[in-house]
Chain A
């Protein structure tokens, strides 16, 4: 079973080597010059003001949390998705599906709640 993943390890080594090799070669071969203001962050040619460690809009946080919730719930559907046909062949498809309907309904109610609370509106 695990030997299925062997070729992927070879690919990982190749890809990491390719990416790291390119960066190192370019770092070694590229020219190096310095000038006043060259290492500043780019702000359309003006001198940069402050740094970019700013406070973020709460929306980004909310999106991240919602993503975790829905992603975990979708992940829990994976075992059912893979074996839905098997359940049907065993004659218990309807029962298992009813349970999944209950589970997805919770997901749906959650979505409706967030929607109603305005959590999905970016301009609020």
Chain B
């Protein structure tokens, strides 16, 4: 019974934490954009504009839900859910902290600990593409269709690099459990996979930008060309769900980059830190990648779509294959044997 309550508590805390972070992240996006452009940004709702996400949420709920006349009604209504739900489900296996004791129950700092968690995130995260392409197609609007198609082509192209990057980590760690992958990086700071596999790290970070449709790869929206891309016809809470899904996906991608390459919740040179410290370390590392998403968005210009596809297929894919190859050879001939 107590076990069950602790599980419920963890699910509620982690899910609530991620949704809360996503809400604050929308504010951070506008604040950082403002600072980079020498403006002030939202500052009217609450101190420093901190209640802005709440105000946005209330406004979204009371706005009109518009369904275009030519749209496929059912799919149009389902698509936002299909986009947001997979992004929120991938947080289930992210290890936020190590072993902990809550109310006398020994547990761990993730919702679930499964053997294939490194591939669970790819499997579930990959489902998000359905929501985007169905949203684009069912709107029956040309902009939406183009945005949806581009987004899906881009997401599937970069998913290969993402998967191959994870593969080379799994090869070296000898396990597909995210906890084992984090354990393999404990201790000294140079044991982090970012230092062990710099090429995979670079490719993975680039692929996360493409997977979440962020600048400089945001062809799903690309406002000068496609108005708003796949969500041109969406309004009110349906639009908000797409938005929330995108921000949750970014949070998940940032936490995965942390887990795979920056030692996850491990504190360097302090292997048995208390779980609160580990959680803080995890938060700090993830916050860096979350900031990187914003920093890049307001710094780099957008690619062209054909450049994006050639980068994905002609540069990233061969390099990722080569990387798996290289670390496969090193592992197979005992370079990483402990």
Contact = CB atoms under 8 A, between A and B. Distances in A.
Contact of B141 (A6, A41, A74): A41
Contact of A26 (B8, B85, B144, B237): B237
Contact of B80 (A19, A42, A101): A19
A16 to B, nearest CB: 6
Contacts of A40: 68-70
A54 B142 contact: yes
Query: Chain B contact residues (Cβ within 8 angstroms of A): what range?
Result: 35 or more
Interface in A49-95: 51-54, 56, 59-60, 63-64, 66-67, 70-71, 74, 77-78, 80-89, 93-94
A84 B306 contact: no
Interface in B89-127: 89, 91-93, 111-115, 119
B325 A7 contact: no
Contact of A52 (B8, B111, B139, B238): B139
Given A19-B241, A40-B69, A70 B317 contact: yes
A77 B324 contact: yes
Contact of A22 (B7, B61, B153, B325): B61
B134 to A, nearest CB: 13
Contacts of B7: 6-7, 10
Contact of B140 (A33, A41, A66, A82): A41
A117 interface: no
A88 B337 contact: yes
Interface stretch (B48-56, B154-162, B262-270): B154-162
Interface residues on A, range: 35 or more
A5 B111 CA distance: 9
Contacts of A5: 112, 114
A115 to B, nearest CB: 7
Contacts, number: 222
Contacts of B63: 26, 30
B254 interface: no
A22 B156 contact: no
A41 B149 CA distance: 17
B40 to A, nearest CB: 30
Contacts of B10: 7
Contacts of A123: 306
Nearest to A91: B334
A74 B91 CA distance: 23
Interface stretch (B27-35, B163-171, B203-211, B287-295): B163-171
Interface of A: 4-8, 10-12, 14-16, 18-20, 22-23, 25-27, 29-33, 38-44, 48, 51-54, 56, 59-60, 63-64, 66-67, 70-71, 74, 77-78, 80-89, 93-94, 96-97, 100-101, 104, 107-108, 111, 115, 120-123
12 contacts: A7-B10, A10-B8, A16-B81, A18-B19, A31-B64, A40-B69, A53-B140, A54-B145, A59-B153, A66-B313, A78-B119, A80-B328
